[in-house]
């Protein structure tokens, strides 16, 4: 991992072959973007969008894409982007440790969403876009767009059928999710993304709470864990595209618009890829046995999440504003009833 945490030089610095850019005319804009995802996952969550952008932008602009930890560790992505060492990033706020008031809400904020469509509605119709744009502008970063990924489930070596079964389990998860889950005896563990599979095999980890079942199969985690818990602590990961503000301002308006369009296409791709994948693998997957914690018991976890929300809201005015939006949105969805909320 040490070499992965240094900037690559020579031939090793070249992006993936599928994204290799042709020789371009003098004066082209070239960006380096790093994603949170490893190569197998990136093929779905970002590669198609970057390939499309590069094809359309042609000689005017090209984006070189790097995968998880390839240029810098994920936890240093924000700093590298803020300095302009990396031009753009695909990540959640929480993983890349951004120094903003909204960082805690990135990734999996417990029970903030139930379905993937909740995320774009929260950002586009309930005001989160404006809050994120303002908070990142304060630190020299352009928040380009937000989107949803998969829900957050546990996949583990031993079965989880009650809250008691979670106690003492060493689990790879996101910072805020780990902070929340620790009250139920979960031991959060932070490791480089590429080391997770081996850590499960060696016993350093008992399980993972980082994704839905689609990613478990895509990245190989379904090969080293035996059980998948159908209960989740969030219906969708909240992730974003960001850019260094100065680098963003250097891009002509039409190419800025093209970036937005391609990133929106990326958000759309993930909507159906995850939604269909989660259901298909639960029904047809053969690698992990499905387990569940009874609803009556899991309800206590959801109630604890609302207490956790209030604790977060008490930390600052901005956090309180975001929590209030989550509360209002979920109340509206509950009042709307089926198909927005069941029960």
Q: What is residue 218's predicted lDDT score, i.e. its pLDDT?
A: 96
Q: Which fold has domain 152-235+285-336?
A: D-Maltodextrin-Binding Protein; domain 2 (3.40.190)
Domain with CATH 3.40.190.170 in the chain: 3-150+237-278, 152-235+285-336
Question: In sequence order, what are the beta bridge partners of 242?
Answer: 89, 143
Q: What is residue 21's predicted lDDT score, i.e. its pLDDT?
A: 41
Could you say which residues of the chain have pLDDT below 70? Answer: 1-26, 343
Q: What is residue 26's predicted lDDT score, i.e. its pLDDT?
A: 53
Q: What is residue 153's predicted lDDT score, i.e. its pLDDT?
A: 98
Query: What span, in angstroms and rounded, lies between the C-alpha atoms of 241 and 146?
Result: 7
Decide yes or no: CATH 3.60.15.10 for domain 3-150+237-278.
no
Q: What is residue 290's predicted lDDT score, i.e. its pLDDT?
A: 98
Q: What is residue 12's predicted lDDT score, i.e. its pLDDT?
A: 38
Q: What is residue 27's predicted lDDT score, i.e. its pLDDT?
A: 78
Q: What is residue 119's predicted lDDT score, i.e. its pLDDT?
A: 98
How deeply is 2 buried, as exposed, middle or buried, from its count of CB atoms within 10 A (0-12, 13-18, 19+)? exposed
**HEC letters along 306-340:** HHHHHHHHCCCHHHHHHHHHHHHHHHHHHHHCCCC
Query: What span, in angstroms and rounded, lies between the C-alpha atoms of 193 and 100?
Result: 23
Task: Indicate the pTM of the whole model.
Answer: 0.90
């Amino acid at each position: 991992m040490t070499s992965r945490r240094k900037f690559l030089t020579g031939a090793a610095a070249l992006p993936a072959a599928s994204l290799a850019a042709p020789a371009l005319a003098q004066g082209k804009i070239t960006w380096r973007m790093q994603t949170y995802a490893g190569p197998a996952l990136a093929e779905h969550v970002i590669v198609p969008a970057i390939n499309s952008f590069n094809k359309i932008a042609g000689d005017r602009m090209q984006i070189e894409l790097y995968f998880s930890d390839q240029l810098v560790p994920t936890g240093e992505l924000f700093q590298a982007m803020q300095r302009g060492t990396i031009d753009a990033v695909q990540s959640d706020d929480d993983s890349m440790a951004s120094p903003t008031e909204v960082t805690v809400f990135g990734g999996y904020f417990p029970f903030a969403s139930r379905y993937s469509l909740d995320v774009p509605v929260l950002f586009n119709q309930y005001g989160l876009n404006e809050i994120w744009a303002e908070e990142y502008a304060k630190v020299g970063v352009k928040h380009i767009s937000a989107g949803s990924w998969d829900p957050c489930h546990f996949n583990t070596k031993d079965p989880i059928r009650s809250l008691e079964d979670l106690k003492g389990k060493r689990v790879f998860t996101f910072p805020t999710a780990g902070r929340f889950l620790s009250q139920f005896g979960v031991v959060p563990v932070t490791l480089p993304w590429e080391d997770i599979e081996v850590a499960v095999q060696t016993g350093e980890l008992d399980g993972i709470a980082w994704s839905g079942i689609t990613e478990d199969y895509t990245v190989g985690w379904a090969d080293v864990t035996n059980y998948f818990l159908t209960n989740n602590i969030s219906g969708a990961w909240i992730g974003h595209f960001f850019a260094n503000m100065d680098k963003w301002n250097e891009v002509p308006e039409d190419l800025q618009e093209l970036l937005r369009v391609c990133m929106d296409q990326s958000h759309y791709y993930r909507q159906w890829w995850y939604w269909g994948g989660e259901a298909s693998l639960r029904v047809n997957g053969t690698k992990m046995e499905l387990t569940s914690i009874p609803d009556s018991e899991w309800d206590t976890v959801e109630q604890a999440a609302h207490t956790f929300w209030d604790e977060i809201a008490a930390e600052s005015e901005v956090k309180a504003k975001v929590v209030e939006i989550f509360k209002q949105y979920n109340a509206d969805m509950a009042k709307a009833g089926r198909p927005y909320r069941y029960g």
